[in-house]
Amino acid sequence: MTEPESIVLTELRESPRRPGRYLLTLSDGRQLVLGVAALADAGVTRSGVALSPATVAALDHESAITALADRALDALARGRRTRRELEMRLRKREATPAQIREALDRLATSGLLSDESVAQAEAAARLRRGEAPTHVRRVLRRKGVSGATVSDAVADAIEHDEYDELAACRSVAEKRARSLASADPATAERRLLGYLLRRGYGSGVARQVVRVLLRGGGA
């Protein structure tokens, strides 16, 4: 039985676009991208070395995981992302669910991916923008954050900012009401109420605020 031929590393150079990543060109035409730690672990430090099939398979796998992790990092650099959001992005690549899971696990272990951090930052920012707690919880759950994490994040944001839902609803309604000044009273009331409900405010709170602003009713 013939032994499988070794594959030779014909070129090894640092990536010009991503510092810390190295481009490997193999004698069979494949090109791989790996981090320096993976190269050191495999003992691949210079071009011209012969690689066993097992080593090539390990490097090929590592290259796939590295590419997925780098793509996820690029998305994180552009803004906060939950694990589910990154998973949905990576599904568009030619990758298996196991590879995606491994890449995201690697980022989570290194502290670069955390649903808890995303939930805390999003909850605080959205409440300050005038979104109601109910709406914030719904948004975070759609992003794939677990129920317990969402509840903790929203509760922490409410406590930290001493959030008052009625006051927040009134502030949002006052800004919106300015754009409805030319509408007739019934239309203005309907539109303002719908706007507040879409932002997650409860019917009772929203109606109370609309009544005070547009009808001059008591608090």
87-124 pLDDT, tens per residue? Answer: 999 999 889 999 999 999 999 999 999 999 999 999 99
Instruction: Identify whether residues 88 and 120 lie together within a single domain.
Output: no
Average pLDDT over residues 22-47: 91
CA-CA distance, 4 to 118, in Å (whole number)?
49
Name residue, tokens 């691949």: 44
Residue 219 has pLDDT above 70, yes or no: no
pLDDT at res. 193: 95
Do 150 and 172 share a domain, yes or no? no
d(CA 109, CA 76) in angstroms, rounded, equals: 15
The full DSSP string for 2-70 is PPPPPEEEEEEEE-SSSTTEEEEEETTS-EEEEEHHHHHHHT--STT-EE-HHHHHHHHHHHHHHHHHH
Q: Are residues 40 and 85 in the same domain?
A: yes
Same domain, residue pair 52 and 78 = yes
pTM: 0.81
**Boundary (domain end) residue, out of 81, 109, 137:** 109
Residue 29: inside a domain, yes or no? yes
Residue range of the domain that includes 89: 7-109
Indicate if 34 and 80 belong to the same structural domain. yes
What do you get for the CA distance between the two ends of the chain, in Å?
90
Q: How confident is the model at residue 56 (pLDDT cuts 50, 70, 90)?
A: very high
Quick: pLDDT tens for 194-215. 999 999 999 999 999 999 998 7
With 50 as the cut, is the pLDDT of residue 2 above it?
no
Count of domains forming the chain: 3
Q: Residue 1: which pLDDT band, with cuts at 50, 70 and 90?
A: very low
| C-alpha distances in Å from residue 72, one per residue of 17, 60, 79 | 16, 19, 11
* Helix (H/G/I), strand (E/B), else coil: 82: coil
- Considering the domain architecture, whether residues 57 and 124 belong to the same structural domain is answered as no
What average pLDDT does the structure give for the chain? 92
Question: Is 179 inside a domain boundary?
Answer: yes
Report pLDDT for 4: 56
Same-domain check for residues 134 and 194: no
Pair (105, 138) in one structural domain? no
Domain assignment present for 1: no
Q: What is the pLDDT of residue 133?
A: 95
211 lies in the same domain as 183: yes
Q: Are residues 102 and 88 in the same domain?
A: yes
pLDDT at residue number 214? 87
d(CA 27, CA 4): 14
153 and 170 belong to one structural domain: no
